[in-house]
Copies of this chain bind each other. A is one copy, B any other.
Amino acid sequence: MAALEKVSSNKVYEGELIKYKFKSEALGGLDANFNLFLPSNKSGVKVPVLVYLAGLTCTEDTGAQKGGYLGVAASQNIAILFPDTSPRGAGVPGEDDDWDFGTGAGFYLDATRPEYSKHYNMATHITVELPQVIEAAGIPIDFQRQSIFGHSMGGHGALTLYLSSKTKQYRSASAFAPISNPTKCPWGEKAFKGYLAGGIAEGKRYDATELISKSTDPVHILIDYGTGDNFYKQGQLLPESFLKAARDAGYDEFQVRVRSQDAYDHSYYFISTFASDHIHFHANFLKA
């Protein structure tokens, strides 16, 4: 098990935001960074954790700096884990050519195309490796109480890792402007063709709309998107497809809530406006 190295630490809302680095097996031995917010927690009891997945071009810092999550998380005594959005420095030819594929754009899947399969395994990194290395380091987080949320590509990641977990790893999922039906949008098609040997057909198992349409388990999902979001208008997000599939599968508005927010865009200004709502949503389940 790789040891964690503390890169930096900032006191915030009486708690601490710590940046760690370690050699990631899941990412082919590359150094991986993540940020972890720990509330001050004087109880002595391990705290529940919310995993935040950021969007295209972002890093482990984006949500911590711009999301407006930490004050609410502190007040709820919840930790937040901020992973990076892709491996860094894999050296695959072309991985730095585009902003929507490769570096900064790992799409939270495990790649099966040979060029990418050694390093681009963000799904395993987030669901298996990070909990293991954090627990092994003795950090007082209760991984029996995890939920997950994210933005855009990270909203896709949150919904798909939640819906595809055979172990019910996460208690609830939420997303800001998620890529909700990636087999049907340009970003998703490019990612699946690039990372997956089976292309878009294989990508169906990383498509939230496909997953919810086949789901029969109880779910707790909240989605917000803005009607002023250019990526929404361009058909990259398709939240209506997800909503329709959820309703067709029998989920009501208490299980799957999709909110259209008038005139909000794709930015962190939109996210920060509804940040408190999302953390309170998850707190219901993390503290249940």
A160, chain B: closest CB distance, angstroms: 28
Interface-lining segment among A46-54, A120-128, A166-174, A259-267: A259-267
Assuming the A-B contacts A65-B66, A66-B65, A68-B71, are A269 and B228 also in contact, with contact meaning beta carbons closer than 8 angstroms in the complex? no
Kindly list chain B residues whose C-beta atoms are within 8 Å of the C-beta of A132: none
What 10 additional pairs, Cβ within 8 angstroms, besides A10-B267, A64-B269? A10-B270, A11-B228, A11-B263, A11-B264, A11-B265, A12-B270, A12-B273, A17-B269, A66-B66, A68-B68
CB of A268 closer than 8 Å to a CB of B: yes
Q: Which residues of A contact B (CB under 8 A)?
A: 10-14, 17, 64-66, 68, 70-71, 226, 228, 263-265, 267-270, 272-273, 276
Contact A13 B273 (CB under 8 A): yes
Query: Interface residues of A: mostly helix, strand, loop or mixed?
Result: mixed
Whose C-beta in chain B lies nearest to the C-beta of A17? B269
Contacts of A17 in B (CB 8 A): 269
Are A272 and B11 touching (Cβ within 8 A)?
Answer: no
Residue of B nearest to A14 (CB): B273
Docked CA distance A125–B39 (Å): 41
Contact: B11 with A269, CB < 8 Å? yes
Residues from chain B with a CB closer than 8 A to the CB of A276 are 71
A229 to chain B, nearest CB (A): 10
- A-B contacts, 24 listed (Cβ < 8 Å): A10-B265, A10-B269, A10-B270, A11-B226, A11-B263, A11-B264, A11-B265, A11-B269, A11-B270, A12-B269, A12-B270, A13-B273, A14-B273, A17-B269, A64-B269, A65-B65, A65-B66, A65-B268, A66-B66, A68-B68, A68-B71, A71-B272, A71-B273, A71-B276
Closest chain-B Cβ to A143's Cβ sits at a distance in Å of: 25
A64 to B65, CA, bound (A): 11
